[in-house]
Each structure stands twice: as C-alpha cells, then as structure tokens.
C-alpha cells in the first residue's frame, strides 16, 4: 500500500536534463526506395511504403536501415520503390516521395509531412535524444486534437492530456485511469483533428512513451532503447487510418463461430466432475454455452502440458462428452515451465536449448505459479515450433482452444518480469529483453496460433492472450486482464475495448462480471447485457470470489442473464458478418460513435455507449440502482429495440432501463441478419428489417460459411448484399449473392419487416438470391 511518503518533496523532484535536438539538416541522398538525410549526427531514412503509409526510420550507427519487427507484415514494407524529388530554399528543403511531401526546416530540423490530399500527417515534428538515452519526437497539435488507439490502456476514449508507457505489465492492482502500463502495448496512435484523421506507429518493442500531457498541445513519442522506426498513416477518415495500420500489421483471422459465443470461466473449475456438472447445468437451464475454460488447477502442480490425474482422470472423455453438447474446452497455458528435472517438458526444453538465457549462458529462472520456472525464448522460430509441438498434448485430448496468460512475461519479483539483461536469440540477431520485452506475449501467441493452425487439419484455431504487441491481432483475441467486480471497471471496459478495436485488435473483451472482488446480481446482470455485444464474451472470476455463473444470484437475475446470452446468439449472423469485415478491412466490430459520425463533435469522447457495426447502438447501464439513462442518438432515426419506437437522432434522449432492459437501438432502415434458434447450434436464419424513410434504400450484408474451417479461403462461403427499398406502402427486399459457394439452393430465410407503427409483416425468401415485396399491413 502506498502512503503519502511517496509524494515527499525529495522523492518527486526530478533533475532537469538537457535533451539534444537532431538538427540541423545536413546532406541527403536519394535512393530508388526513398531518401536518407542527415539530421544532426544521425541519418534518417524516408520511405514511401504506399500512398497512405510513410516510413521514417533512423539508420543504425553503420548507416543501415534496421529490420522491421515481426509486427510488420514482410510483404507490406517491400511493396514500393519510390523516387524522390527535391526542392530547396535558403530556409527549407522539400522532399517529394511519391504522393508524400516532407518539408524540413534546415536549421531546426523540424518537419511537416503532408499526404497526397495535402492533409498534414505530422506537424512540426522534431526528433531529439533525451539526456536519459533513447530517441524521441515532438509533434505539434491543436488544443482540440483528439487521440485514439494505443491498445487497451485504462482511462477514457480520447487520450488527450494523458501519458502512457508501453511496457507489458501484469497489473493485479485495481485498474485506474492514471495507470500508465497494462498487459498489452500497441505503440500506435490516431490523431483526429476537426474530422480529419492520421496515424503514427512507433515500431519499437522496448519501452516507449506516448505523452499528450507534458507539452500540451504538442505531444511526444519516445523510445528508451532501440531505434526510432516510425510509420505515418494518411486519413482522411479514422477508418482509412485503421485500414492502413492493419494493412501494415495484419488483421484478425476469422475465428471459429464457437469463439464468438458465450464462454464460461472461473479460476478454477477444479475437477472433471465439476466441469461436466457445469455443462449440464447450462443445458438444463437452456442457457447456450460454447466454451468452458480450465484455469491453472487442471494441471499437475501447474506444469503446463499436463493434467492432474486425480482431478481430471479422463480429459479426453470429458472433452468428448462436452463436444457432444456443443461445448469446447479452452485450457490456460502460461509460458513458465517448472524447473523440475523429473518433468518431461522441462527436460525436453533443456535438451533442445529452448529457454531464455543470460549472455553468459545461464538459464533465466523466475517464480510463477509452479515456483521456479524457465521461459521459452519465443524470439527464435525454432523455439516457437518446439512450443507449438507441445500442444499435441491438448489436441490429442480433444482440446481446441488455448488461453495464453502471464505472457508479459509476468514473474513474481520486484520488476514483475524477466531480467532485462536476458539475451534473446532473435533468429540470429541477439537482443536483450529490455529491447524486446513487449514482443514476448505476441511471439508466444504467434507460435501457438501457427502450430494450432498447422495441426488442426483445416480447423480455425481459437487463441486468447493477455499480453501482446502490434500485430497480435493476427493470432489471438485479447481480454483486458484482471479487472474487478466494480461498476467503474464495467464502465472502463468500453473505452478500453473501443481503443483496442481502433488499434487493430478487433476481437477483445473484459472478464464479464469482473474477475477479482465480488460481483452482485445486479452488476452481473448489467455486465452480461453489455458483454453480449462485445466481440469477446467471457464470464470469468477469481479464486475465492463469490460465484458468478448465470444462476448464482437467484431466478430473476438468471432470467436476465439467460435472455442476453440468447440475444447474443440471436444476433450472431450479424456479428459473424462483422468479424468477416474486420478480417478484410481491419475496421472493428465494436465501434465508438466517432468512427461512424466523425463530423459530430458530440461523439469525440463518447465512451459510455457504442455501436456494433453501424446499425446497432448499445448504451449499457454502468451504475447501480439506475433505472433509466441518457443516450446520445447520432443523426438519423433510431428504433428502440424493445418498444419499436422511432426516435430522431442528433440529441440525447432519456431511456427507460429497468434491470431487465439494456438500452438498445437499431438504425432505421437497417437489415439485421439473425438466428432465431438463439443457441450455440445454427438455427433458422431471418432478416429483421427496420422501416426507413420512403425513398431510402437500406443496406446490409450477410456472410456465411461452415463456421469452423478454413474452407472459406477456397471459396466455400456465401456473401450476400442485402437491400431494402422503402416505399410508402411496401418494401422491396433483395438478397443478392455476390459469392455463392456455401449453403443449399432451396434454403429458406424468414423476412420480418418491422413497420414504424409497430406491426410486423413476414415472408419467406428462398435460395441465395431473392427479391420479395412486403406490403404494409392495413
């Protein structure tokens, strides 16, 4: 516990150290890929990667451009050779690289970067070496500039006035807005100025800082170690920037459908009998469930790749029985391998020389759950393959999902992590842990995902991770770590996951109900209502906390929780299509309103409500005892999902929210594909259409495939464009298959037209493409 002593004057006073600006501009040299120029004592390379991505990278001491990290897709940076035209005046030099313009003040070394539209992507950017070492940049901004992204950081949606340190950390202390580090580091920020967006990614997996406070309204990005390898992304829209960033660092892979369902976890379900009883309770209570998680107690003394034989005498039989019920098992796998000469994984690891070592060759041993443990060096592909092979143990027992935890890596010591002097192999280019720290969790996920993808015989893997770095979205879903059963933590999950989504990680979510502390029936009900609309939907709680399975607080709460879990399944076809879209474009599934309404300042820091896709608006109740709440409806007409009332947007409305009701709105004119079965097995498909204005054409999309395998990559999917042409007395509904490689020709789809007056007309659409007219009821 900290006391006031932590702010004793001599503790907080910081020495003022001089920093050195990289200036003036010396000579330059054009290459067939861009230009290198001398700034002070350093060489800076400018490389136009594409019309919307410009790389600015400081060369190393021998004048070479350092290799990109694994965050960057190799194909993404090799794409373009760029010629450079130069214009000079006495004060400035202007470099034109393809569509990019970089204008540098000769004396100050300050530069402005503009994109092909003439929008400023970086203003007054000046590089400097802090006296404490490393390198940084100061960039100018306006007082009204908003900042988004930066992964899962605590606090609100807009990061203006905040400062963050990117250093993956295991933070069990209650997450509060002033926390500067959490489990995931995404050194990517979106600048948003009067409706125009641009982005910056500092590809450095050591400790980096993003400070929007100290030099306000200017901001600073800096790295304590390693190089300065920075990418600028052109807008003009937020979606353009996210799309460019995810073209560089990758997009989510389409997960199996079951990964998008409801998941139940607990630290821990401790025995095979308990797990089976849990599954049967879900079945008996008709609460759909797709996955049960096994936390660390399933193992033999916390040794990864083992089962405790007494607690889990026959894991395969358990998995088979669960699979028959449509339930998957996800096992936790931490990176620490117990130091135990009688443990085959440790012995095999030693024999294969896979563990992290100091430069002198000593294996780094740190304390985690199993006690003293060694840590695989995932920076080496050979070690990654060794790790992946260990997963045969789970696959042979019918386990299909893996949960990577403690992979910051967390160590129970003062620094909370691995010795920063550990020397990683890094595929033949050794680097210290200090330089690569933030990559550890992402590389663990990469090894696991790639191994599973290879071994699953065409099935899509599901992987969940706690730690990550840019690019982690290619391999895993991310949950926000050890939150608590606090209303504040429920509320904070919204901006956290929204910013994750704007940082490429489209598949994320918090522990629903809260992990630590004790939930209440009301909190569980409200959190489940909200969680049902997050991309990742898992209820998880800690050892010795009150139970928080859906039925833990009596029938009334159970009823509410069931209703919203079923609603999740009802809306799965809509969500599934959004997952597909995120895998194609990087645009997140769960969206802040600013993403869809960038011209509306009321949305710029709105983070107590969100959109799913662009048609569903969710306004969770994040306070106890509240039975109504203010909801901001953006421009357009919105339909109250529960009452059918049409409301004009561009204003706040006060909405009734008794405990069983989540304020939920659908955009008028939208077409929402749903599954009427509301269960973890696909059922009857329907299109719910909400009346738009006469003369308008509503649009939607429905993507379908087998929900399990990669066959969609070979064209085994169906993609339909949906339109609804609204007339005064009827609606013309069209489904048009833009790709038709899945599904049966005579398949039926129910169409439910919700008229503004509350009546509903129904019709059946048959086959992949159809056209149907539904009349307004008399």
Question: Using the 8-state DSSP alphabet, how is residue 336 labeled?
Answer: -
Q: Of the candidates 158, 253, 295, 675, which one interacts with ligand GLC according to CB under 6 A?
A: 295
CB of 78 to ligand GLC, least distance (A): 38
Q: Which residue is nearest to ligand GLC (CB)?
A: 267
- 3-state per-residue secondary structure call for 513-534: CCCECCCCHHHHHHHHHHHCCC
Question: Using the 8-state DSSP alphabet, how is residue 102 labeled?
Answer: E
Active-site annotation holds for 408: yes
Tell which positions 527-546 bind ligand GLC, by CB under 6 A: 540
Query: Taking a C-beta distance cutoff of 8 angstroms, is the pair 378, 440 a contact?
Result: yes
Tell which positions 492-521 bind ligand GLC, by CB under 6 A: 515
Tell me how crowded residue 694 is: count the other CB atoms within 10 A of its CB: 12
CB of 399 to ligand GLC, least distance (A): 16
Residue 675's DSSP bridge partners are 685
Report the alpha-carbon distance of residue 777 to residue 760 in Å, rounded: 8
**Active-site residue (options: 220, 482, 558, 581):** 482
H/E element, 734: strand 730-740
Going by their DSSP bridges, the two strands 401-404 and 423-424 should be labelled as unpaired
Q: Of the candidates 332, 383, 399, 436, which one interacts with ligand GLC according to CB under 6 A?
A: 332
Q: Of the candidates 82, 481, 592, 598, which one interacts with ligand GLC according to CB under 6 A?
A: 481
Closer CB to ligand GLC, 515 or 770, in the complex: 515
Going by their DSSP bridges, the two strands 328-333 and 401-404 should be labelled as parallel
Instruction: Check binding of 405 to ligand GLC (CB under 6 A).
Output: yes
How many residues in the shown chain lie near ligand GLC by CB under 6 A? 10
Closer CB to ligand GLC, 510 or 588, in the complex: 510
Instruction: Check binding of 308 to ligand GLC (CB under 6 A).
Output: no
Question: Using the 8-state DSSP alphabet, how is residue 65 labeled?
Answer: P
CB of 167 to ligand GLC, least distance (A): 17
* Alpha helices for 479-630 (secondary structure H): 487-502, 521-531, 555-570, 572-585, 593-596
Closer CB to ligand GLC, 296 or 702, in the complex: 296
The 10 Å CB-count burial string (b at 16+, else e) for 28-40 is bebeebbbbbbbb
Active-site annotation holds for 405: yes
Q: Chain centroid to CA 240: how far?
A: 17
CB of 514 to ligand GLC, least distance (A): 11
Residue 552 is encoded by which pair of tokens? 């833990």
CB of 663 to ligand GLC, least distance (A): 30
**Active-site residue (options: 405, 511, 675, 688):** 405
Instruction: Check binding of 408 to ligand GLC (CB under 6 A).
Output: no
Closer CB to ligand GLC, 79 or 413, in the complex: 413
Closer CB to ligand GLC, 332 or 686, in the complex: 332
Closer CB to ligand GLC, 518 or 730, in the complex: 518
Residue 700 is encoded by which pair of tokens? 């939607």
Report the alpha-carbon distance of residue 103 to residue 95 in Å, rounded: 6
Q: Chain centroid to CA 668: how far?
A: 29
CB of 673 to ligand GLC, least distance (A): 33
Closer CB to ligand GLC, 235 or 510, in the complex: 510
The answer for 118, left when phi > 0, alpha when psi is -120 to 50, beta otherwise, is left
The DSSP annotation for 644-696 comes to --EEE-SEEEEEE--TT---EEEETT-EEEEETT-SSS---EEEEEE---TT-
Q: Of the candidates 251, 466, 474, 566, which one interacts with ligand GLC according to CB under 6 A?
A: 466
Closer CB to ligand GLC, 68 or 331, in the complex: 331
CB of 466 to ligand GLC, least distance (A): 6
CB of 482 to ligand GLC, least distance (A): 5
Tell which positions 250-269 bind ligand GLC, by CB under 6 A: 267
Tell which positions 105-124 bind ligand GLC, by CB under 6 A: none
**Active-site residue (options: 295, 377, 408, 522):** 408
Closer CB to ligand GLC, 111 or 267, in the complex: 267
Question: Using the 8-state DSSP alphabet, how is residue 473 labeled?
Answer: G
Question: Using the 8-state DSSP alphabet, how is residue 363 labeled?
Answer: B
Report the alpha-carbon distance of residue 404 to residue 464 in Å, rounded: 6
Active-site annotation holds for 482: yes
Query: Taking a C-beta distance cutoff of 8 angstroms, is the pair 477, 507 a contact?
Result: yes
Query: Taking a C-beta distance cutoff of 8 angstroms, is the pair 139, 121 a contact?
Result: no
Per-residue contact track with ligand GLC, 265 to 294, x per CB under 6 A? --x---------------------------
Burial class (CB in 10 A: 0-12, 13-18, 19+), 754: buried
CB of 469 to ligand GLC, least distance (A): 18
Sequence-distant (6+) residues with CB within 8 A of 266 are 293, 295, 540, 541, 547, 548, 549
* Alpha helices for 391-432 (secondary structure H): 392-395
Q: Of the candidates 482, 608, 705, 719, which one interacts with ligand GLC according to CB under 6 A?
A: 482
Closer CB to ligand GLC, 405 or 522, in the complex: 405
CB of 172 to ligand GLC, least distance (A): 6
* Contacting residues toward ligand GLC, per CB under 6 A: 267, 295-296, 332, 405, 466, 481-482, 515, 540
Q: Which residues are catalytic?
A: 405, 408, 482
């Amino acid at each position: 516990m900290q006391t006031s002593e932590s702010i004793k004057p001599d503790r907080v006073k910081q020495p003022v150290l001089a920093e050195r600006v990289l200036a003036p501009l010396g000579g330059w040299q054009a290459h067939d890929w861009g230009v290198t120029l001398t700034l002070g004592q350093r060489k800076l390379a400018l490389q136009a990667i594409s019309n919307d991505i410009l790389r600015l990278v400081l060369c190393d001491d021998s004048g070479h451009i350092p290799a990109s990290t694994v965050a960057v897709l190799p194909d993404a940076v090799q794409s373009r050779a760029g010629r450079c035209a130069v214009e000079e005046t006495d004060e400035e030099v202007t470099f034109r690289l393809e569509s990019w313009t970089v204008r540098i003040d000769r004396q100050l070394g300050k530069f402005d970067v503009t994109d092909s539209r003439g929008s400023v992507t970086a203003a007054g950017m000046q590089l400097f070496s802090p006296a404490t070492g490393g390198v940084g940049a100061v960039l100018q901004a306006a007082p009204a500039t908003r900042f988004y992204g930066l992964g899962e950081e605590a606090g609100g949606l807009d990061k203006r006035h905040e400062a963050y340190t990117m250093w993956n950390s295991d933070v069990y202390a209650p997450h509060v807005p002033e926390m500067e580090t959490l489990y995931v580091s995404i050194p990517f920020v979106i600048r948003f100025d009067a409706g125009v967006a641009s982005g910056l990614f500092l590809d450095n997996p050591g400790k980096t800082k993003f400070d929007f406070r100290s030099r306000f309204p200017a901001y600073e990005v800096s790295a304590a170690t390693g190089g300065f390898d920075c990418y600028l992304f052109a807008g003009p829209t937020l979606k353009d920037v996210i799309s460019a960033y995810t073209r560089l660092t990758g997009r989510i892979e389409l997960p199996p459908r079951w990964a998008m369902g409801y998941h139940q976890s607990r630290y821990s379900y401790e025995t095979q009998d308990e797990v089976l009883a849990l599954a049967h309770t879900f079945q008996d209570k008709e609460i759909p469930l797709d996955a049960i998680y096994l936390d660390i107690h399933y193992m033999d003394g916390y040794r990864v790749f083992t089962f405790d034989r007494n607690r889990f005498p026959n894991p395969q039989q358990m998995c088979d029985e669960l699979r028959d019920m449509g339930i998957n098992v996800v096992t936790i796998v931490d990176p620490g391998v117990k130091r135990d000469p009688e443990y085959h994984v440790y012995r095999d690891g030693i024999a294969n020389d896979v563990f992290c070592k100091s430069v002198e060759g000593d294996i780094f041993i740190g304390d985690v759950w199993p006690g003293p443990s060694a840590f695989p060096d995932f920076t080496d592909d050979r070690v990654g393959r060794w790790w992946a092979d260990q997963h045969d143990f789970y696959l042979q027992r019918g386990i299909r999902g893996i949960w990577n935890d403690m992979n910051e890596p967390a160590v129970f010591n003062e620094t909370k992590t691995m010795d920063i002097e550990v020397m990683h192999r890094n595929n033949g280019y050794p680097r210290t842990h200090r330089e690569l720290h933030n990559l550890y969790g992402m590389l663990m996920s990469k090894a696991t995902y790639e191994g599973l993808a290879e071994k699953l015989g065409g099935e899509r893997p599901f992987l969940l991770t706690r730690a990550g770095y840019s690019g982690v979205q290619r391999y895993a879903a991310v949950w926000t770590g050890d939150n608590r059963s606090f209303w504040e933590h429920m509320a904070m999950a919204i901006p956290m996951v929204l910013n994750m989504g704007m940082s490429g990680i489209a598949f994320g979510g918090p522990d629903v109900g809260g992990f630590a502390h004790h939930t209440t029936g009301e909190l569980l009900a409200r959190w489940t209502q909200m969680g049902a609309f997050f991309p990742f939907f898992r209820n998880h709680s800690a050892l010795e906390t009150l139970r928080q399975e859906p039925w833990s607080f009596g029938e009334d709460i159970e009823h509410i929780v069931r209703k919203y879990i079923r609603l999740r399944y009802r809306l799965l076809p809509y969500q599934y299509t959004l997952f597909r879209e995120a895998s194609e474009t990087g645009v997140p599934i769960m969206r802040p309103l600013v993403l869809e309404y960038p011209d509306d300042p009321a949305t710029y820091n709105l983070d107590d409500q969100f959109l799913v896709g662009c048609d569903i608006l969710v306004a969770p109740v994040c306070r106890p005892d509240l039975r109504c709440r203010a909801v901001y409806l953006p421009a357009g007409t919105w339909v109250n999902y529960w009452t059918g009332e049409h409301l004009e947007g561009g204003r706040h409305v006060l909405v009734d929210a008794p405990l069983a009701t989540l304020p939920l709105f659908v955009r008028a004119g939208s077409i929402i594909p749903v599954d009427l079965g509301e269960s973890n097995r696909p059922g009857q498909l329907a299109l719910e259409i909400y009346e738009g204005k006469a003369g308008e054409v509503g649009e939607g999309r429905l993507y379908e495939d087998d929900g399990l395998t990669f066959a969609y990559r070979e064209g085994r999917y169906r993609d339909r464009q949906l339109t609804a042409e609204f007339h005064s007395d009827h609606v013309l509904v069209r489904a048009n298959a833009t790709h038709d490689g899945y599904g049966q020709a005579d398949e039926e789809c129910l169409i439910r037209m919700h008229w503004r007056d509350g009546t509903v007309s129904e019709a059946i659409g048959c086959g992949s493409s159809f056209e149907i007219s539904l009349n307004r009821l008399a």
